[in-house]
Every structure is written in structure tokens, then in C-alpha cells.
Structure 1
Amino acid sequence: MKNYKILTLLTVAAFLITSFAASLPVSASSAPEIEQAEPEKGPNRGRMLREGDFAIELAIFETGVPPEFRVWVTDVGMPVSPDKVDFSVQLTRLGNVVDDITFRVEGDFLRGDLEIYEPHSFVVTIMAKYQGKTHHWEYDNFEGRTQIEPDVASAMEIETDVVGPKTLHQTIPAYGRLSLPANATHNIAARFDGVIKTLLVQQGDVVKQGQVLMTVESNESLKPYQITSPSDGIISEQYANAGEPTGGKVLLRLTNTAHYVAKLAIYPQDYTKVEIGTPVTIKVEGDDRQLIGKVEFIEQRVRDDQAKLVWVTLPNLNHSLAEGSFVNADLEIATINVPVAVKKIGLQGFRDFTVVYAKVGDQYEVRMLELGREDSQWIEVLGGIEVGTTYVTENSYIIKADIEKSGASHDH
């Protein structure tokens, strides 16, 4: 069913992208209708910007250092001493986040005072003052960004969440079977031998504690006496009928099915992680419900496969549990509060990074993440995205595909 849903979403996505292509705004990262020439590159592999005879080369340098801007200046094709130029850069990121960068002289170039953190996606505004004249340039340097109208995003079932603190529940898997507790079964026999005069129950009947099950006439006193149920339960076996002698044998078997014990196998690498009281979530084969319990007992013997069995008692609330049923479980071995986390389902690959896609209005852009601890659903974020940021969770692969289709580059 999951594969069918993904295939359906891909089909819908392809149809809608095609159908709305004429109406969608062109994102800055999308390929333009008319191919533009590549920006001129300078001898230091930076972008060349010119105004008359005055020119600058602006490059992102990241060899051995965090990414930073470096600038070389020429006039009439000749190098200009960097101390003769007053230079600044302003980067405007998605969401109108502005980075102001100033420069200092270093050797024959100007060096920016701010790390150019990922993503390198912004509007670049440049100001250079030289010999009493001010020069201005502005250009878009977008990567990992696309734009999707809200109705299209809704049709594609793109869902979002907000970055914030979470509690991680780290678990280990375990498997086992349901068993009845040791005290669940009662063998019912006559205290004094005699003849069963009346049998008031039969196999399959549900009985209550203290309920009369049969009347027996004693061989010695020739007086009748009653046998009552020692607990609630079901008559699971019937070995005698009215008119038969009791003969010192078991007459009925009563089984109390109010509780079952899940016996789960834990292997050596996890011995020290599980203790009495460890929370457990259990699913019984053929039942979609999640049952909650705690480890109540750990067997001290080891099976041939080196597994120890841990016991979890489960209430049989709707009488759906059965002895011998297979179960799978998650044992919670750690609970960790983290200040920043995202849903793992939203993670995608972008270049050499693991990313999510931040959403601002109808625009989506990569956020490169530094990741930490995780559980089955959430993962801790150590850096790369701010608390309160809206990001894509369900169907984030559609955003990735749209960005890849646009050919968004990493232009230094």
C-alpha cells in the first residue's frame, strides 16, 4: 500500500507540474526560458563585476578555512591596492535574513569578516568606493530553492511541521510469544469421591469466582455438596458429565484469560540496556493495536541462542489475545529531551549534505543539517536550522525533484 501511495503521488506530481507550468512563478533557482550566459570568471575563479574600466572579482574561498568572501580589484586592467578601496557586501537570504559583511586588507586582496554559511543562496548586494566614486552591483545567487503555489503543494500532499524541542524515545526491537500466567489455570476435582449429580457448566462457558459449577453426592455421607469456581475464567476443558463418578480425577479445567504474559527475547548486546520497569510497546500479530506495558521479570537462564526472556504482563481487555500468538515489541531504553529536532521522514540528500526544506511563503529552500541522536521518528539537530522554522515533512522528495529539475547550482 505504501508503494502504491508513493506511485500515486508521483503521478499526481508529474501531472500537476505539467498542468500548472504556465501559471507557476519561475523561481530564481529554476532554469530560465532563455539560457543565460555563465557569469564571467576571474583568475581566482571568482565572479567578475565591471563598471567601465573599474572591476572587482568576488570569490568564495573555502580551502582550509570556513567559506569566506575574498575580493581582488582592478582599474583599466591593472591591480588596485586593496587599501585604496572601501568595500562591503550584503547578503539577503530567504525570509529577509540579512548578513552584513565588511572587509579588511590581507596581502593583495580584501578578506570578508563573516563566514558564508550554507546554503549559499541569497541576493548579493555590493558597494565599492574608489577615487571618490561609488559602484553598486546586485545579483541573485540561489541554490536549492524552488517555488510552488499553495494549491499545487496541497494537491501534492506536501506537509510541514515546525522545528522545535522534542523528547526522543530510543528503543530496541524484541520478538516473542504470548503465554498464560502460571496462576491462570485451575484443575477442578472433587474433594470427596462420589457421583456428579448436576453439572451446571460445560466447555467454553465463562464463569465468575464463587459460581457453582456442579453438585456431587459423596460416597461416604451420601449427602450432596457443591463445587464452586476458584476464580473468574473460562471452562477450557471438560473431562466428566453428570451421572459419572468423580474417581479422584480432574473434572474441569478453568482458565483465567484476563491477562497474558509476553515473553520477549533479549540478546547479549542488549542485556545491560533492559531492566525491571523498562517501558514496552507491543503489537500482536494480526492486531493493529499498540499495547503498553513494562518489564516485570527477567529470566536468569539463557536459551541455546543466548537470549534471555523478559516478561511483560498485558491485560486482555477485549478478549482478543490468545496463547501462543507471535508478538513484536519495542523496549524503550532511553528518553532524551533535545532542544531542536526534525522528523526523519523529511530528510533528503543534497550534494554532500543531509537536508530538510525550509518553507517561507510559497518558496522552499534547503537547510543543511548537523545531526545528533535519534529515535524511530525524530532526529536531533545540532546546527543548520533555527527553532520555529517551518519545514517539509511528508513528500519532501517532490521538493527535491523540483529543485534537481531546475538545475540549481552551487556557484562560487
Structure 2
Amino acid sequence: MNVRRSLPILATIMVGVLLGVWIISWNESDLPGTAERPQFGEEDGSAAMAGPQGGRLFVQDDIGLELIIHETAAYPHFRLYPYHQGQPLPPADMQVTIALMRLGQPAKLYAFRPEDNYLISDDEVEEPHSFELVITAEWQDTSYRWGYSQVEGRVQMGDESMHGNGIELAAAGSAVIQPRVTLPGEIIFNEHTIVHVVPRLPGMVVAVERHHGQAVKKGEVLAIMESAMLADLRSQYLVARQRLALAQTVHDREKQLWQEKITAKQDYLVAKQQWEEARIESQLAAERLQALGVRPESGLSGKNLARYEIRSPIGGIVIDKAVVTGEAVKADKTVFIVADVSTIWAAIRVFPRDLHRIHVGQRAIVHADAHQLVRAGKVIYITTLLDELTRTATARVELDNHDQAWRPGMFVKADLLDEDIAVPLAVPLAALQRIEDQLVVFGRYGEFFEMRPLKLGRSDGQMVEVISGLSAGERYAVSNSFIIKAELVKAGVAHDH
């Protein structure tokens, strides 16, 4: 069915309904009895005359009303300019009411008040400006009526065509949404699991066993070096241990002789003191080696007392190596950096406007879209100070990384989730289309789709709260709505006024 051919029939029916609603709303004593039959132009407005203000001019007898939808103010509204015999009338001399009917919505009455040289409506005229209306005016005890209709943002599409295009419908209703804020970030190492490995004694590197990027286990040898200091410490330990063994033998003999009354007690006490001193000296020599990470008994069976093995204190990945074979290293030089990557951090940049929505313990969904990775985590820390250059705070999200899929340096986005909120009206984000500067859905009314601009609230990335523009129970296109938008653009009726 052609839209323009069907509109006169549809408009006539709606105007009749509107008039009925308007008449019922008045008391019988208020019904004017002198009014002549209203003069209607064609319902699509094509026959309406242009008025001096550039609006649509409606004339009955010597009275005229020029209708304008004024859109340059704070909100769109009706303005009416009254005329008598082609000359402007004082707006306060005329009382006007407009009854407006939209598809799928009840009739709405607009009252008017005088302002400057026109009458202004008491309420906003919402988008789209697609409606049937009846203008009722009273001047000098005579009533006048005009009817008018216009179409905007509407396309006709039968059920068969709708199903063929894969367009599905849904009824607007309540939903539970989980508001979220999406922020950029980067994967970094967990600073708590990074270890800087130092030799703890000076020496010469004789072999490098592990290199940058290799995985290592806890206690695994990273490099081998020879240290004169270690040789000296081991020699001291060997001497101390031998002295202790000798002192132990002397002590045991003197104790037995004293107990058998062969020697004096004084000889036993001297032997005991020497044994105690040898034991303390041996213990100190062992602790010097243990402080360097060397087991006192290791390396003593071989001939090379200077041999020293640098071992990894944790399991992880070698992320830096700063030593080569033949290099002389100092005791405090960082020769390896090993990182445990079983957990990883996402450093999320938080803009000042979003800081009030972020807190420690908050759930987060981290996406690395370039690598098709998604993982859940929690905010463990938020920096107190803002970065001097970016003026952002950093929120750290800890992620499990036992599979080592996440690598430092990856750019990510994080959805930081708020608590679930029940909202009275919501629609899927997939149902929205942008027309000019408005986000709209397409309501279904009989065989017509008509755009409904929405004022939106909170969103969770799947559903979005509807504050105004759609009523509960209204059916709308929930999938493939871009096809309807394309038909509107092709027909040139997306925004006609």
C-alpha cells in the first residue's frame, strides 16, 4: 500500500476520533452552537497555504491561524499567529486548543498562552513530528476548527516484508542492567612477583645457563661464576669444621679422664672451652655462606672452592639478562630479572569524571580485542595522585594468567561493573539507530514503522535504560532495524520539517 494514498483515509479516521475525544471532554453547555463546518486541507499538508511567518496558514471565513513548530528554542513547541481579514490579531483575543494524535499513543491536548505577537503551546512537541491534529479556536463567541496531518520518520512495511528482512519485534518492558564504565588500559607485570637477581658476592662469570624470555623453575641455575671471596669463605668454613672436630675429640677424651679421676677437672674445663669456641666459629662460617645463598656443605667435595651458582629465587620468565660469559660482576649488580606471570595486572586509566564510579574490590571484565581475549578480575588498587601528563588515575585489575595468554604491553579495555539495577524500561543497544543527532528505535504500529527518539540513561553494554520516548508495552524492531533506517533515508522522510 502506498503511504501517501493511505494517509488521507487514515487521517480522516483519526481526525474523527480526535474530534470525538475533544467533544466528550467539554461539558454540554460549553459546546459552541454557532460554529460552521471545519475546513480541512488535504491531510498530508500539500494544499496548506504558506503564511507570512513561513508556517502553514489555515483560513475559515475571515479568520486565519498560522501554525509553526518552532525548533530553535530550548525545546520544540507550537506557535500560532492569529489573523482577521489578513491582519494580525492580538493573541490574547483568541483561545486555541490543539488535539494531537500519534500512532500508538493517546491523544494529547495543548493549551496556549499569548506571548509577543503569537500564541505559544504549554508543552513540548516531541520528535518525530508525525501526527494528526485538530485546531480548535474561539474568537468573539464563534468557534473555528481545522485539521492537519504530517508524516515524518514513518515507513510502511507489511508483515511478510518485515519477516523477509529478518526484522524481529519485542515489547518494551523492564530489565535488570549492570551499569558499567569502559576505560582504556595496558597489561603490565605484577610488581609483587618481579625479582631482581644479584650475585651477592663479586666474581667472574664462567657460564650463562638461561637467557631472556626463557621459563625457569624455582632454584634453577641461571649462571655460574667463580669467586675468590667464596673460595676464602669456604676455606674458612673447612678450617673451622676441622677445628671443631679436633676440639670435640679432645673434649670427649678429657671428660672421660676427668670422670675416671685420672686428670684434673681444670684440664676438662679448658678442653670444653676450646670445643665451645670451635663450635661457635664453625657456626659463624656456615652462616656466612648461607647468607650468600650457598649451602655450607655444597662444593666442598670438588677441587674448585670458588665455583658459585646463581639460582632463580622464584619460578617464572626471565625478562632481563645483564651478564655475559667472562664478565666480572660486582656483588650488587642485577644480573637477571625474573617475573612470575601466573598473575598479571591491567593498568586502567581512570579519567577524573569517572573516579567516583571506581572502587577497590569492583568487578572488571578486561578485553584484549586484538588478541580475542576476555578475562574477569577485580580492582585491587587505585592510585591516589593523578598522572602529571595524562591527568588520569590508574586502577590495577589483577588477572589470572596461568595459561600465560596475557602478555605485558597488550592494549586492553576494561568494563568496570556497578551493582545490578532494576529499571522500569530498557531496550537492547542493538535496536538503536542514529538518525542525525538522535538515537531512535522504530515502533511498530499496524503496517507502519515509525521512529521514536529516546532519552537514554544507564547502560551495561547490552541493555540501556529508556527515560523517555517509548512506553511500556510498545512493540519495536529489535533486530535488523538498519533496514528500516535505510528505507526512511531512501524515502526522504527521516526528518522532513
Name the larger-Rg structure: 2
Cα deviation, residue 52, structure 1 = 4.7
Matched, 1:277 2:365: no
Counterpart Cα distance in 1 of 2:414 and 2:447:
39
SS at structure 2 position matched to 1:123: strand
Q: Name 1:96's counterpart in structure 2.
A: 105
Give 1:70 shift: 1.6
On the 8 A contact 1:298/1:311 being kept in 2, the answer is no
Counterpart position of 1:39: 48
Contact 1:278 1:331 in 2 (8 A): no
**Higher normalized helix content (fraction of residues):** 2
Alpha carbons of structure 1 residues 311 and 185: separation in structure 2 relative to 1, 3 Å: farther
SS in 2 for 1:97: coil
Structure-1 residue corresponding to 2:148: 139
Q: Distance in 2 between matches of 1:48 and 1:384?
A: 29
Q: Do residues 368 (structure 1) and 446 (structure 2) align?
A: no
CA contact (8 A) 1:266 1:310 kept: yes
String of CA shifts for 1:342-384, please: whole Å, max 9, x gaps. Answer: 4444443434434333333442223333445555445555544
- Asked whether the 8 Å contact 1:118–1:367 carries over to 2, the reply is yes
Specify the alignment match of 1:169 in structure 2.
Answer: 180
Q: CA deviation at 1:92?
A: 0.3
Equivalent position amino acid for 2:102 in 1: R
* Candidates 157, 161, 166, aligned match of 1:152: 161
SS at structure 1 position matched to 2:178: strand
CA contact (8 A) 1:170 1:376 kept: no
Structure 2 contact 442–450 (Cα < 8 Å) conserved: yes
- Please show how residues 146-225 of structure 1 align to structure 2 within 5 Å: 146-161=155-170, 162=172, 164=174, 166-176=177-187, 185=217
Q: TM-score, normalised by structure 2?
A: 0.49
Distance in 2 (alpha carbons) for counterparts of 1:42 and 1:411 = 18
Question: How many aligned positions are there?
Answer: 324
Structure 1 window deviating more from structure 2 (87-96 vs 110-119): it is 110-119
Are 2:430 and 1:348 equivalent residues in the alignment? no
Select the residue among 111, 114, 134 that pairs with 1:125.
134
SS at match of 1:397: helix
**Paired position in structure 1 for 2:227:** none
Deviations 1:113-164 (A, max 9, x none): 3332333221011234556664432221221222222332233233455264
- 1:293: Cα distance to partner? 3.1
Structure 1 match to 2:82: 72
Query: Structure 1 residue 53: deviation in Å?
Result: 4.6
Partners of 2:104 and 2:395 lie apart in 1 by 54
* Distance verdict in 2 for CA 1:151–1:295, change over 3 Å: same
Q: Structure 2 vs 1, CA of residues 375 and 280 (structure 1 numbering), >3 Å: closer, same or farther?
A: same
Q: Deviations over 1:150-186 (max 9, x none)?
A: 332233233455264533122324343799x89x956
CA distance 1:163–1:121, shift in 2 (3 Å):
farther
SS at match of 2:127: coil
Map 1:12-31 → 2, pairs under 5 A: 28=7
- The worse-fitting range, judged by mean Cα deviation, of 54-63 and 145-154 is 54-63
Q: Secondary structure at the match of 1:118?
A: coil
Q: Distance in 2 between matches of 1:148 and 1:264?
A: 49
Judge conservation of contact 2:67–2:78 (CA < 8 Å) in 1. no
How well do the aligned residues superpose, as a CA RMSD in angstroms? 5.2
Q: Which of 387, 395, 398 is the matching residue for 2:480?
A: 395
* C-alpha distance in structure 2 between counterparts of 1:176 and 1:167, whole Å: 25
- The verdict on how the C-alpha distance between 1:268 and 1:341 changes in structure 2, with shifts beyond 3 A counting, is closer
Residue type matched to 1:140 in 2? S
Q: 1:239-292 CA deviation, whole Å, 9 max, x = no partner?
A: xxxxxxxx9x9xxxx999xx9423323458599776652323245789867443
Give the Cα separation in 2 of the matches to 1:408 and 1:188. 74
Q: What is the alpha-carbon distance in structure 1 between the residues aligned to residue 89 and residue 399 of structure 2?
A: 81
Q: For residue 408 of structure 1, what is the aligned residue in structure 2?
A: 493
Tell me the residue number matched to 1:263. Answer: 345
1:48 aligns with one of 48, 57, 74: 57
Q: Verify the 8 A CA contact 1:285 1:325 in the aligned structure 2.
A: no
Matched-pair contact (CA < 8 Å) for 1:28–1:146: no
Q: In the TM superposition, what is the alpha-carbon distance from 1:74 to its structure 2 partner?
A: 2.5
Letter in 1 for 2:345: K
Instruction: Answer 1 or 2: which has greater strand percent.
Output: 1
1:91 shift after superposition: 0.4
Identity %: 27
Q: Which residue of 2 aligns with 1:227?
A: none
Q: C-alpha separation between the residues in 2 aligned to 1:298 and 1:43?
A: 63
- Separation in 2, partners of 1:298, 1:384: 38
Residue in structure 1 matched with residue 400 of structure 2 by the alignment: 314
d(CA) in 2 for partners of 1:104, 1:269: 47
Secondary structure in structure 2 of the residue aligned to 1:117 = coil
TM-score, length-normalised on structure 1?
Answer: 0.57
